[in-house]
Amino acid sequence: MRPDQDFEESEQERKFRRRIFHLVFAILVLIAGGFLIWKLSGLVAPVIVGALLAFLFRPIKERLKIPWLPHELQVLCSFVAVGLVLFFALDTARKYIPDDKQQLEYKVRLKYKLNEQYQQWVMKSPEGKPSMLMSFIQKQTGPLMDKVNQLLELDPKEREQFLHYSAAYSVKNEIGKYFQANQNARKYATPEEAPDAAPATTAAVAAPVQPPPAGESSKWEPWILAPLIFVFFGFDNGQIRRYFIGLVPNRYFELSVTLLDRLDNAIGKYLRGTLTECTLVGLTLCLGLILLGSPVGIAMAIGLICGLVNAIPMLGTVIALVICLGYALIAENVEPLIPGLNPNNLPLYAVVLVGITHVLDDVVFQPFVLGSAVNIHPLVVIVAIIGGSLILGLWGMLFAIPTVVVVKTAVETLFKELKDYRII
Amino acid sequence: MSGQKQVANKLLWETLERWKRSSPELDRIKFLKTVPFFDQLSNRQLKAVSDILFERKYEIDELIFEEGQPGAALFLILDGRVAVEMRRENHTTTLAILERGAFVGEMALLDEAPRSANARSLERTRALALYRGDLSELIHRDPETACQIYRALAHIVGDRLRSTNKLVQMEISADKASVA
């Protein structure tokens, strides 16, 4: 046998061995990866949040890049710049976060105002006698109002606290009046409609206040990972990408870099687009509330929260509606900046404002900002949100659509590129 | 300066020099300086380019890229030899054999057009790949460097176009002569 043939045979054998090794190694990695994700499922959300934040932070890092500075120092500078902005924003927002006393006040006020508005709109007709339609609405919404009242009821501990505050800090007179009125709140459902309402209330009152379970604090511990992941990804200068591309066989090198690049673009477009869209929604609501006479601080806080929850498709608007309506119900001494508006109709204006914002979001913001970044069928959106909420709760709902975007783009690009590179 | 300090100083500088000499990053930058694409760039700019390069290792007879596939990267030959070939039916024509310091697949830096030839390693080869997307990103991060690279690319493409024109002219003249 010639030495050339020998060499060729040994090379063939080596190629075969290499393929078997790669296959076994890939299977082992997949099994180990799957097992780890299943066992460490609590870490998945913090890791994703940290990575997403780093992803969103990347353009800022790139913009603040100073070519003559070492990479680490550049990243540090951008961290400091973003940190300072966030610090001032949070410090400002902190002033508007209600303390224990204010929370109790809001709860009492909300219950009182809700009942007042309900009685004004549903219980009374202009003639003083409820019409047939009103009777029907009352019959349908009565049990719901009872449930809401039950939810807003102060438990014995809160009641004690409230009485303590009202004695020590002279809680406003109206709040005391509201508290008294809430004690005598009537039931809206007729007894035959709500047979279980009364025992439930009794049970809620009678049940001792349970201390939080021991494991409650530990569920937040994995979240320490999120800032760590953010910092590590922030300092990364493409090494992680280069490392993983380095593992790819030569045949798939160009395919892999193209695929990663396209995925990066699609996810980046979607995430940054969503962030811009949420900011625009938050700003619209904030501006609307200011025009309706709300103090700037509260309008900003509501705008911020509603902007954030807007990232949850469909449900975001519902949450924003609940928040704005809740605020409109408890707001007092409001003087709208738009002439001709009646301050007593604030809840109605809040509903209109959320409606206008939603239409603006659908007609202007989404097409303008997101464009055709994602074309996902509404049914897929609903299924993804429900599935996400079942798997990871609120975080699952938030990440459902980005996950669908990643999978959709990955599959589409992979098939296109595999065909272009004549691999399939 | 005391003798001890002098020895410490010498040791320090010698260690630093040795470290500098053996640093793979420095070796790569030195190599990049020899490539026509990057010979106009400063050390800092070369470092920026070096940060976005992928190092690939090819076995004997392994394809670096294939004719007809969409191009995505330029390959700089760090070590080894690469043949640029065109396959037509049963016949393979070798267009060029490239060695250390040469580059191949530069048109992929411009667009996704299919490769016009195969690149195959004739011996164990190490190559540095510059991905088109990374170069495009460099425009935003370091426009001066990216601009210089694109200018070098334009020069190379221009030179090739002039050579092709000359070849076409010669072919036409030869045809005319044979007709006459």
- Decide if B17 is inside a domain: no
How many structural domains are present in chain B?
A: 1
pLDDT at A198 over 50: no
Contact (CB, 8 A) for A285 and A306: yes
Q: What is the ipTM of this complex?
A: 0.82
- Decide if B149 is inside a domain: yes
**Closest-approach residue (CA) in chain B for A58:** B141
Mean pLDDT within A198-219: 47
Rg (CA), chain B: 21
Report the CATH number at residue B47. 2.60.120.10
**Closest-approach residue (CA) in chain A for B127:** A250
Mutate which of A10, A71, A237, A254 to test chain B, going by most B C-beta atoms within 10 A? A254
Q: What is the pLDDT of residue B108?
A: 93
pLDDT at A304 over 70: yes
Q: What is the pLDDT of residue A286?
A: 93
Interchain pair A258, B70: CB under 8 A: yes
pLDDT at A368 over 90: no
Contact (CB, 8 A) for A310 and A318: no
Mean pLDDT within B90-118: 90
- Decide if B18 is inside a domain: no
Half-sphere exposure of A43 (CA within 13 A, CB side): 9
Rg (CA), chain A: 29
- Decide if B20 is inside a domain: no
| Nearest-by-Cβ selection for B52 from A68, A238, A254 | A238
Mean pLDDT within A118-137: 67
Q: What percent of chain A has pLDDT over 70?
A: 86
- Decide if B1 is inside a domain: no
Interchain pair A251, B56: CB under 8 A: no
Task: Show me where the domains of chain A are located.
Answer: 1-39, 45-96, 100-189, 265-417
Interchain pair A254, B72: CB under 8 A: yes
| Residue A217: pLDDT band with limits 50, 70, 90 | low
Q: Give the residue from A77, A113, A157, A411 showing the smallest Cα distance to A259.
A: A411
Is B150 in the A-facing interface, judged by CB distances under 8 Å?
no
Distance CA(A334)–CA(A67), nearest Å, equals 52
Chain A residues closer than 8 Å to B44 by CB: 67-68
217-246 of A, contacting B, C-beta below 8 A: 237-238, 242, 245-246
pLDDT at A208 over 50: no
Listed range (A110-124, A198-212, A217-231, B64-78) with the worst mean pLDDT: A198-212
Distance CA(A35)–CA(B127), nearest Å, equals 37
pLDDT at A170 over 90: no
Mean pLDDT within A229-246: 87
Q: What is the pLDDT of residues A37-47, one digit of tens each?
A: 888 877 877 88
Per-residue burial over B9-38, b if 16 or more Cβ lie within 10 Å, else e, is: eeeeeeeeeeeeeeeeeeebbebbeebebb
pLDDT at B15 over 70: no
**Where in the sequence is the domain holding B100, given as residue range(s)?**
25-179
- Decide if B113 is inside a domain: yes
pLDDT at A292 over 50: yes
| Residue A195: pLDDT band with limits 50, 70, 90 | very low
Is B54 in the A-facing interface, judged by CB distances under 8 Å?
yes
Chain B residues closer than 8 Å to A62 by CB: 140-141
**Closest-approach residue (CA) in chain A for B132:** A258
| Residue A190: pLDDT band with limits 50, 70, 90 | low
For all residues of chain A together, what is the average pLDDT?
79
114-133 of B, contacting A, C-beta below 8 A: 129, 131, 133
